[in-house]
Amino acid sequence: MNAEVELEAGAEMLSGGEMIARALEDEGVEFIFGYPGGAVLHIYDALFKAGRVPHVLVRHEQAATHAADGYARATGRPGVVLVTSGPGATNAVTGIATAYMDSIPMVVLSGQVQSHLIGEDAFQETDMMGISRPIVKHSFQARHATQLPEMIKKAFHIASSGRPGPVVIDIPKDITRPDETFPYRYPESVKLRSYSPAVRGHSGQIRKAAKLLLAARRPVIYSGGGVILGEGCDLLRELAKHLGYPVTNTLMGLGAYPGSDEQFLGMLGMHGLYEANMAMHNADVILAVGARFDDRVTNTVSKFCPGAKIIHIDVDPASISKTVAADIPIVGPVKAVLKDLLAAIRTLQESAEESLPDADALARWWKQINEWRDAHGLWTARRYGESELIMPQEVIESLYRVTKGDAFVTSDVGQHQMFAAQYYRFNKPRRWINSGGLGTMGFGLPAAMGVQLAFPDEMVACVTGEGSIQMNIQELSTCLQYNTPVKIVNLRNNYLGMVKQWQDMQYEGRYAMSTYEDSLPDFMKLVEAYGHVGIEVRKREELDERMAEAFAMKDRLVFLDVFIDPMEHVYPMHVAPNGSMKDMWLSKNQRV
Amino acid sequence: MRRIISILMENEPGALSRVVGLFSQRGYNIDSLNVAATEDATLSRLTLTTFGDDKHIEQITKHLNRLVDVIKLVDLTEGAHIERDLMLIKVRAEAQHREEIKRTTDIFRGQIVDVGPRVYTIQLAGTTDKLDSFVAAIPEADILEVVRSGVAGIARGEKVLRP
């Protein structure tokens, strides 16, 4: 008790608002993405007076969460959001859910009405704790200013450890008032008795996994976003190279394994590559790492990879055997488990009498995979000559060429997202930034903004469509204010493309409310009105040149409006319902 | 299969809503729910009963464990355990029925805790089965009101659920 009093005697006296500003600084926060309002004005004033942590004023709170999310995905550090009570908080909800579905570390500070007004339907009151409960990793409501430093430390700890995720702190206005000060000390670390994510995998399970992997004759490594989140990419590559096994990545995992490596099969799943889906379906051993057997991967679960034994590594036990039962479950952080697994494999290989894995079997497996690749590999230029119009795939290939495969690429949701995932070969993790789990249209532009702020000298492209870009187009204004020279690549087809594709395939081409008719804005005038540059591309011959022109304007935001063939579909596409991994449409009239 | 899951968690505002919310969010059902602080005021003990196969229950326990407020939990039905449900039941007790109800109450080792000219209120503790049997033994038309606490449970022997 005495020690505590002494410590507090030496501590600085701060108001609740000042504590928040200082705690964010002490936590090493680089940017706050937010929007002020009544309930958070004390906090904003404290931030303004302290002047230490830059704040990015978005034009809609949803964009604050996406920008923080993009920042987090690109850097690996938690994104920070500050919004006011009521509509500020509810506008942030879509972005919080987006981060939750993709396990992105984020700390959201939401204002709340004064404590004595809570529950009285006060102006701009909403139950943020209740509204956000199913879409947060955890949440806190502050009751007193003195709780704030430790609460903020806990929020960052929870958001960024274990399986990461968003954490909300709801802060009633009265506890941030400037005229009441309390001793401030920011804890160096926190301990929660009820929260201790696994730090190592079970060694017995790891040995079993090593044995099964070495005995495999038709192995596939199936890795997801967890490998990126858990910083396991180098070890994944080492493991794959050591064994010579093929690797496929989920939509969230792209970049975890180098996209242009010959052992890479491409993305798997609903719009996965033929060879990736075929390899999965015919595998005898699947090593799933930081992936969650999402329904967009598995197709019909009961028909999923019938001959495969499954090893599943995940830091979240609830992800294991949730949809597909694992034969060897391993709970633990990807990095630690992969390290132990590699060591176990090497030990087994040294002690084994024969050479493991079986080189002949592996060679036969690769021969088979290469036959699949040759037969129906990524769609190459088959219709380029047939259509007068630019094909969407060509646009992504042009983007890849011009950026030399080294850009950060954010996307929105729809056909353009799938084309980008298929055709931009990501060789590094954290370069492909998209809303995989929730599928949030409107994610791309604000996310790109967050990425560009974190990496001002890097190329950042936002691949989008007319539907998605208009869901957060107001952020063009934020981009001007904070000088984020994002390159927006709009695949212009005048439809909600993915909706149209499903309507073509399943509703006999009845385009129920999936076209804008003649109502689209003149994007050139629009982006110019926002102070940016617009470039239209209508001819195939101009594509690379215009793309290069856009990226040459290093300090300007450029909106490339590329008119593409509106009839193109994304292929391969899983046959559904009742299809397995191997059942795919390869084109409009070819089904395997 | 019926399961009794007993949860030790932080006695924090909102903790209960996270547990209950998880069940509705993921489409699991709660058959009964009982919660109160323990001897340590910072801890709550929550007992809930639910139905499901092994896979289902495994998912439920994994997701419960994932909640930051949950410290530990145990599926009591996996081992020997004691379970008690408390019931207060108000029944019509008039003239010729009064003696009959008293006798039934004695057979079930219940207590009449409130007596009125036309009603008895009976207190009965036991397993869910026992309470169900008692309710079945009273003519339906005589039952005026039933209040049950939901199951509270604890493992037999030296096993304890502590932080």
Is the Cβ of B18 closer than 8 Å to some Cβ of chain A?
yes
Indicate if A123 belongs to the active site. Answer: yes
Chosen from B46, B57, B68 to mutate, greatest number of chain A CBs within 10 A: B68
A411/A303 Cα distance (integer angstroms): 31
Distances in Å between the Cα of A513 and the Cα atoms of A442, A445, A503, A509, B132 are 19, 24, 10, 12, 55
A562: closest CA among A577, A590, A587, A542? A542
pLDDT at A255: 98
Nearest-by-Cβ selection for A316 from B25, B66, B69 = B66
Indicate the pLDDT class of residue B125, thresholds 50, 70 and 90.
Answer: very high
pLDDT in tens, B17-29: 999 999 999 999 9
Across chain A, which has 592 residues, the per-10-residue mean pLDDT values are 51 96 98 98 98 98 98 98 98 98 98 97 97 98 98 98 98 98 96 93 98 98 98 98 98 98 97 96 98 96 96 97 96 98 98 94 98 83 69 96 97 98 97 98 98 98 98 98 98 96 96 93 98 97 97 98 95 94 90 90
CB pair distance less than 8 Å for A317 and B62: yes
pLDDT at A8: 59
pLDDT at A10: 73
- Contacts of residue B163 in chain A, CB cutoff 8 Å? 193-194
pLDDT at A7: 53
Indicate if A449 belongs to the active site. Answer: no
State the CB neighbour count (10 A cutoff) for residue A483: 12
Chosen from B10, B56, B66, B69 to mutate, greatest number of chain A CBs within 10 A: B66
Q: What is the DSSP string of A114-146?
A: -GGGTTTT-TT---HHHHHGGG-SEEEE--SGG
Using CA coordinates, name the residue in chain B closest to A326: B55
Using CA coordinates, name the residue in chain B closest to A154: B68
Indicate if A264 belongs to the active site. Answer: no
The model carries a pTM of 0.96
Indicate if A19 belongs to the active site. Answer: no
pLDDT at A350: 96
A446/A464 Cα distance (integer angstroms): 12
Q: Please state whether the peptide bond connecting residue A357 to the residue before it is cis, i.e. omega within 30 degrees of 0.
A: yes
Chosen from A160, A167, A194, A293 to mutate, greatest number of chain B CBs within 10 A: A194
Q: State the ipTM, two decimals.
A: 0.93
* Catalytic position from the list A498, A547, A573, A581: A498
pLDDT at A379: 65
pLDDT in tens, B74-102: 999 999 999 999 999 999 999 888 999 99
Indicate if A252 belongs to the active site. Answer: no
Nearest-by-Cβ selection for A158 from B10, B68, B70 = B68
